[in-house]
Structures are given as structure tokens and as C-alpha cells.
């Protein structure tokens, strides 16, 4: 299904190894996908799965997790899915800190529909709808997740498959909203349009630009502009949605007059 040199398969392999190492059972795991090349991943899975609509995967996943907190719920999305059409759901899932793991393949364009511009296409880059260069700025998905309230944020590239798996494992183990962003080659569209026709060239580009976060943070702001950080960027333990919900439920079910303000019968 995916083109040769595409990064989606590497991510899927890392995710499945993470499931295996954590002992996830198919019956306890739900993978929710969006629409796009990334969103096609459910067809290769034998867990429970829900293939949703473009941009809305996190909202579907929120309903699943909120109703049955025992499930492991993992959401696979592209950059178009997660932060372009679905940006509102993304920031609200992070704000709620709902215990989902989002894995985003950021290939800087809309792979499935022919390489159009996305909210993560770097300014000036070429796509099938920015023939003279992208006039808009791009989102930093990890920064967005951090300010919106995610408990765990990491970034990796397919160049580092083992590290990616380890980060996905940490994300899965983390209670609350966790995000692993994968900067990923799309040689067929983004590569072709930006003089990185060969898979190798796109991988080299990602490898040169990506620096371990410790190293990245030592750079001057100007130098940081030429690079991006990989590794674990945020790790914190704010209570997740379901925990807080059950705390509130105690008030609702307490005998008359204790805790809550609700007079409903």
C-alpha cells in the first residue's frame, strides 16, 4: 500500500513491537485512524480498530476511552488529519489530557491526495498547491501539544526505528495525553517537489536536521532554526481526564449537601 521509502511502515513496525513488548492483547487495544496514507494503517492490524473521517480520529477515540478507560486507545494520524483539518480536536484532546496515545506521521504534506500543502509544510517549500513556495508558516506540533497540556511529547524520525519504539512504549505507558510525532519522508510527493527525489536524500535531510533534544537545546535560537529536536520533549504527570472525572463523580453521588452544588434529582 505505501510507496517505497515511505516512513509510515517504520512507524507501524515500531508501534507493533511496542505493543508486543508491553504485552498488549488485541482484545484490549483499539487503534483509531484518520484519513490519509497514515490513516490506512488499520488494514494491517488485528487489534480492534476504527477507521474514521478526515481530522476527527481523536474525537472518536475520546468517546471510546471516556466510556471504557480500561482500553488501550492509540490514534494514528497524518499532519493534515491531526493539526490541519483536525487541529481543534488535537488541542482539546491535549487540554483534557485524555489517556490516549497519538502517533502522528508528519510528512509535511497531504500524501494521499497528491502532495498538497499542509499546516506543517515549512514556509517556502514546494507542494502541488504551492508551486512558487509556501507563503504560510508551519505549526510545531510538539510545541502545540505541550502548551495545550499533553503529559508526554516526543519526536523521532524513521532513521531511528529502535528509539522510536522506545518512545512509543513510554508514550503508551504514560497516563494522560501522549504524543509521538514522526518526521517522515514522503519521497513520492514532498521529496519529489523539494529536490529530494530519492528516499535516501529525504532520510539524510531528516538525519542532518534532527538533533537529540539535549544537543538541540544548547544551540542558539538562530541555529535552532536550522534544526529540530528529537527524543523526549515533555514528560509530566497531571491527572488524566478519567481520573478527574471520577473525582467529580464522587461529588455527584455523595449524600445530599456534600461537596457538590447540584440539586438535580
Partner 1 sequence: MGREVRLVQGNQAMTEGAIYAGARFYAGYPITPSSEIAEECSKVMLKVGGVYMQMEDEIASIAAVIGASLAGAKAFTATSGPGFSLMQENLGLAVMGEVPCVVINVQRRGPSTGLSTKPAQGDIMQLRWGRHGDQSVIALCPATVSECFAMTVTAFNLAEKFRLPVIVAPDEIVAHMREAFSLPEPGEVEVIDRKKPSGSPKDYKPFVADADGVAPLAAYGSEYVFHVSSSMHGPDGYSNNDPANAAWRVAQLHRKIEMHRDEIVITRSFAAEDADVLLIAFGATTRASRAAALELRKRGIKAGVLQLITLWPFADREVATLADKVKTVIVPEMNYSGQVAGEVQRVLGSGADIRRVNSYNGEVITPQEILRAIV
Q: Which residues bind partner 1 (CB under 8 A)?
A: 26-28, 30, 32, 35, 40, 42-43, 45-53, 56, 59-68, 70-71, 88-89, 92, 245, 248-249, 252-253, 262, 264
Dist CA 132 CA 173 (whole Å): 44
Using a 10 angstrom Cβ sphere, with 0-12 exposed, 13-18 middle and 19 or more buried, the burial of residue 224 is middle
Dist CA 255 CA 265 (whole Å): 12
Dist CA 17 CA 31 (whole Å): 15
Among 82, 101, 107, 242, binds ligand SF4 (CB under 6 A): 107
Q: Closest approach of Cβ 148 to ligand TPP, in Å?
A: 19
Strands 228-235 and 152-156: antiparallel
- 39-74 burial by CB neighbour count: b if 16+ within 10 A, else e? bbbbeebebbbbbbebbbbbbbbbebbeeebebbbb
Binding range to ligand SF4, per CB under 6 A, among 62-70, 105-113, 133-141, 201-209: 105-113
Q: Closest approach of Cβ 66 to partner 1, in Å?
A: 5
Among 29, 49, 74, 79, binds Mg ion (CB under 5 A): 79
Among 84, 107, 127, 193, binds Mg ion (CB under 5 A): 107
Interface residues with ligand TPP (CB under 6 A)? 35-38, 54, 78-81, 105, 107, 110-113, 118
Dist CA 53 CA 86 (whole Å): 10
Q: Closest approach of Cβ 265 to partner 1, in Å?
A: 8
| Backbone φ, ψ for residue 72 (5° rounding) | -85, 120
Binding site for Mg ion (CB under 5 A): 78-79, 107, 111
Query: What residues make contact with ligand SF4 under the rule CB under 6 A?
Result: 2-3, 6, 8, 37, 107, 111-112, 186-189
Amino acid at each position: 500500500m505505501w510507496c517505497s521509502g515511505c516512513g509510515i511502515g517504520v512507524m507501524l513496525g515500531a508501534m507493533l513491537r511496542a505493543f508486543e513488548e508491553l504485552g498488549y492483547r488485541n482484545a484490549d487495544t483499539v487503534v483509531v485512524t484518520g484519513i490519509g496514507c497514515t490513516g490506512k494503517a488499520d488494514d494491517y492490524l488485528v487489534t480492534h480498530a476504527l477507521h474514521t473521517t478526515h481530522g476527527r480520529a481523536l474525537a472518536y477515540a475520546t468517546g471510546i476511552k471516556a466510556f471504557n478507560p480500561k482500553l488501550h486507545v492509540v490514534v494514528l494520524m497524518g499532519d493534515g488529519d491531526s493539526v490541519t483539518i483536525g487541529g481543534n480536536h488535537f488541542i482539546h484532546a491535549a487540554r483534557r489530557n485524555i489517556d490516549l496515545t497519538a502517533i502522528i506521521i508528519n510528512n509535511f504534506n497531504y500524501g494521499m491526495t497528491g502532495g498538497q500543502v499542509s499546516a506543517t509544510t515549512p514556509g517556502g517549500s514546494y507542494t502541488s498547491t504551492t508551486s512558487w513556495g509556501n507563503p504560510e508558516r508551519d505549526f510545531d506540533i510538539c510545541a502545540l501539544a505541550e502548551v495545550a497540556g499533553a503529559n508526554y511529547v516526543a519526536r523521532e524520525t524513521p532513521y531511528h526505528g529502535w528509539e522510536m519504539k522506545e518512545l512509543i512504549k513510554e508514550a503508551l505507558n504514560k497516563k494522560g495525553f501522549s504524543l509521538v510525532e514522526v518526521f517522515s519522508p514522503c519521497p513520492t510527493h514532498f521529496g519529489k517537489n523539494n529536490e529530494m527525489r530519492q528516499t535516501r536524500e529525504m532520510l539524510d535531510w531528516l538525519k542532518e536536521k534532527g538533533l537529540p533534544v539535549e544537543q538541540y537545546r544548547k544551540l542558539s535560537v538562530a541555529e535552532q532554526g536550522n534544526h529540530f529536536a528529537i527524543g523526549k520533549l515533555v514528560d509530566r504527570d497531571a491527572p488524566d481526564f478519567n481520573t478527574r472525572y471520577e473525582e467529580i463523580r464522587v461529588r455527584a453521588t455523595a449524600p445530599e449537601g456534600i461537596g457538590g452544588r447540584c440539586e438535580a434529582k
